[in-house]
Structure 1
Amino acid sequence: MDSNDVRRQWANRSGEYSPEYYAYYGPNETSDTLRDILDQYIDRNAPVLELGCSSGRHLAHLYEHGFENVAGIEVNEDAFDVMADVYPDLAAEGEFYPNAIEDVITDFADDQFGAIYSVETLQHLHPDAEWVFDELSRITDDLLITVENEPESEGEPDVSYVNDDFPLYYRDWKAIFTDRGFTEVDSKSGRRDTIRTFRTTRTTRADV
């Protein structure tokens, strides 16, 4: 399976893990955690980007709590129809990019977003597209949050397949982003993921 295959799978996803699936469950504990982290580090008017926003349950939660400058990237175009139905205010006011992350991220300006976050999205990025991590460093002005799966032990396979279907790649997110100019300022283990909060090195230096 190459990176194009992975993108096609998500673009055509229905049923479990589809936009309708996530809209049905709505905002959750992760949504609250993201809001708390953003409240701690950035202003409410800072531009916030979600990678793989699906139908927008996390962004809707942020929007309803005062983060109104929000944007999302989502490869499954059906997600935006669901968003318009379930979260109409978000759909009307947010900035959305119906495309794969790899196809849009190079269009953003340096330091364009005050905060960027990913919830179980980067872990599905094919190794051929790992150059995206460099782009995230370029376009993040302050805060980067990863809510992603991580290896539980040494020797764990580099990839597994969810329901024998789409791939999940195990990565050391702390190493990936500290090697790209970020400083980790917090981390916590959730039920399924590790939540890591990074700030750009230029931001942490300014705080000293």
Structure 2
Amino acid sequence: MDSQEVRRQWAERSGEFSPTYYAYRGPDERSEAVLDAIKRRLDTDARVLELGCSSGRHLSHLYDNGFRDLHGIELNPDAIEVMAEHYPELVDAATVHIGAMEDIVGEFADDAFDAVYSVETLQHIHPDAEWVFAELARITEDLLVTVENEGEDDEELNYVNDEVPLHYRDWHAVFTGLGLTEDETRAGDRDTIRAFTAR
């Protein structure tokens, strides 16, 4: 399965792991981890971008805690309609770019966002699109937060329900290799939370 097929599946996804699925689950401990990482380092006027924002459950948690300059990238076009239903204040406040991350990040200026974060999104980037990680470092002015599954031992690939590919990576190595400094690491119930500073 190449990166084009992976993106097509996410863009057309309904049911499990779709925007509606995540909207009903609402903010969770991952939302709180992102809020905590950002709030300890930046003011609420920070420009914040979520990668793979879906229907906005993590962005809504930031909105409810005073952040207003919120942005998202989401592949599935149904996400905006679901966001409008579940988080109407957020959909009016946030700027959401619909499309593949690989097609959008190049449009942003250097240091376009004070904080960029992902929650179980970068693990779906196919190896043939790993160049996008350098773009994420480029558009991050202050803080990059990853909340991702990292696998165990030398495991590189796994499938959820035998269909959703997870590409496990050492995010410390990825982003420190791109010039960022990791200043926080902690284990969640299934994810590793890492915070990187860009200066």
Match for 1:20: what amino acid? T
Deviations 1:118-161 (A, max 9, x none): 000000000011000010111000000000011311x32x2111
AA paired with 1:175?
Answer: A
3-state SS of the aligned residue for 1:41? coil
Partner of 1:4: 4
> SS of the residue aligned with 1:32?
helix
The residue type paired with residue 61 of structure 2 is H
Does the CA-based 8 Å contact 1:151-1:172 persist in structure 2? no
- 1:145-193 deviation digits (Å, cap 9, x = unpaired): 000011311x32x211111112100100000000001100001001110
Task: State the secondary structure of the residue aligned to 2:144.
Answer: strand
Tell me the equivalent position of 2:60.
60
Paired position in structure 2 for 1:34: 34
Structure 2: gaps (5+ residues): none
CA distance in 1, matches of 2:164, 2:64: 32
1:49-98 deviations in Å (ceiling 9; x for gaps): 00000000000010111110000000000011000011011101111101
**1:45 is aligned with what amino acid?**
D
> Percent same amino acid at aligned positions?
59
Q: Which runs of 5+ in 1 are unaligned?
A: 204-208
1:56-205 matches, cutoff 5 A? 56-153=56-153, 155-156=154-155, 158-200=156-198, 203=199
Query: 3-state DSSP class of the match of 1:128?
Result: helix
How far 1:29 moved relative to its partner?
1.1
Q: SS of 2:40's equivalent?
A: helix
* C-alpha RMSD of the superposition: 0.7
Give the counterpart letter for 1:50 in structure 2: E
Q: Return the TM-score normalized by structure 2.
A: 0.98
CA distance in 2, matches of 1:65, 1:137: 26
- Name the CA distance, whole Å, in 1 between partners of 2:128 and 2:163: 19
Paired residues in the alignment total 199
Q: Which runs of 4+ in 1 moved over 2 A?
A: none
